[in-house]
Amino acid sequence: MAIPDYQSIMLPLLQFAQDGKPHSVSDAMEYLASHFKLTENDKKELLPSGTQYRFDNRVAWARSYLKQAGLLENPLRGTFQITQRGKKALDSKPNEIDIKFLMQFDEFKDFKNRSKKDSTGKDVEEESSQTPKETIEEGYQKISNELAAEVLSAVMKCTPKFFENLVVELLIKMGYGGSRKDAGQAIGQSGDGGIDGIIKEDKLGLDVIYIQAKRWENSVGSKEIRNFVGSLAGQKANKGVFITTSTYTKDALSFVSNIQQKVILIDGDLLAQLMIDNDIGVSKVASYEIKKIDSDYFTGDF
Residue (of 290, 260, 299) closest to 140 by Cα position: 290
Q: Are 217 and 156 in contact (CB under 8 A)?
A: yes
Percent of the chain scored above 90 by pLDDT?
A: 50
Task: Encode pLDDT of 208-245 as tens digits.
Answer: 888 888 888 889 999 999 999 988 888 778 888 999 99
| Strand order across the beta sheet in which 79-82 lies | 23-24, 79-82, 72-73
Return the higher-pLDDT residue of 165 and 228: 228
Domains of the chain and any CATH numbers: 6-117 (1.10.10), 152-277 (3.40.1340.10)
Determine whether 197 is exposed, middle or buried from the number of CB atoms within 10 Å of its CB (0-12, 13-18, 19+).
Answer: buried
Q: What is the mean pLDDT of residues 104-126?
A: 69
Residues 198 and 241 sit within 8 Å (Cβ to Cβ): no
Tell me the pLDDT tens digit for each residue of 53-100. Answer: 999 999 999 999 999 999 999 998 889 999 999 999 999 999 999 999
Say how far apart CA 178 and CA 175 lie, in whole Å: 7
- Which range among 37-41, 52-56, 165-169, 265-269 shows the weakest confidence by mean pLDDT? 165-169
Residue 123 has pLDDT above 60, yes or no: no
What are the angstrom distances between the C-alpha of 128 and each of 33, 54, 75, 146, 239? 22, 15, 30, 23, 47
Average pLDDT over the chain reads: 85
